[in-house]
Amino acid sequence: MASKVIHAFYNDDDILMLAVKKVKAAKHHIEEVYCPFPVHGLDKAMGLAPTRIAITAFIYGCIGITIATLMMNYIMIEDWPQDIGGKPSFSYLENMPAFVPIMFELTVFFAAHLMVITFYMRSKLWPFKQAENPDVRTTDDLFLMEIEIHDNEEELKSLLADTGAVEINISEK
């Protein structure tokens, strides 16, 4: 059985923020908010849990620096030692100052690329995936707040109208 949802459209991000706060204060659960651009503080106003992408970025950076260190030690010290610029290749620690740029670059490379892959997998964004946006106007200039209806349709309509919604629609989810 499909559930009914109410879509409230707003034309300003500040009005949207105030509306989210009023709806949360009235103890209604906001299913989703669709925005044409990121709105600072909206996640906190909606009560969403903080993201853990920074932790994964640190872990991916550690993987990158580890791979860089192991790769340079194997290539430049063990497998094919070369006398480059008068620097002997006796140990990794003697040559580490020359390896710092490579270590930095691979740390950033691994962190950035693996974070993007993690974000796409976590968000279930695959190539050729159809958009789940309920209204195409939210990619241009309108903000949409989606709230599920539980026998409180009139109450929600009046609350959303008081918050400054420019349009209120009811649809099946």
pLDDT exceeding 70 applies to what percent of the chain?
Answer: 96
Return the pLDDT at 62.
Answer: 97
Q: What is the CATH number of the domain that holds 24?
A: 3.30.70
Same domain, 60 and 16: no
What CA–CA distance (Å, rounded) separates 102 from 100? 5
The domain of 31 spans 4-50+136-172
Same domain, 59 and 45: no
**Torsion sign over Cα 20, 26, 28, 29:** positive
What CA–CA distance (Å, rounded) separates 75 from 52? 35
Return the pLDDT at 129.
Answer: 87
pLDDT 10s digits, 126-164: 888 888 888 888 889 999 999 999 888 888 999 999 999
**pLDDT above 70 (res 46):** yes
What CA–CA distance (Å, rounded) separates 148 from 158? 15
Same domain, 57 and 105: yes
How large is the average pLDDT for residues 41-49?
91
Please tell me whether residue 41 adopts helix, strand or coil conformation: coil
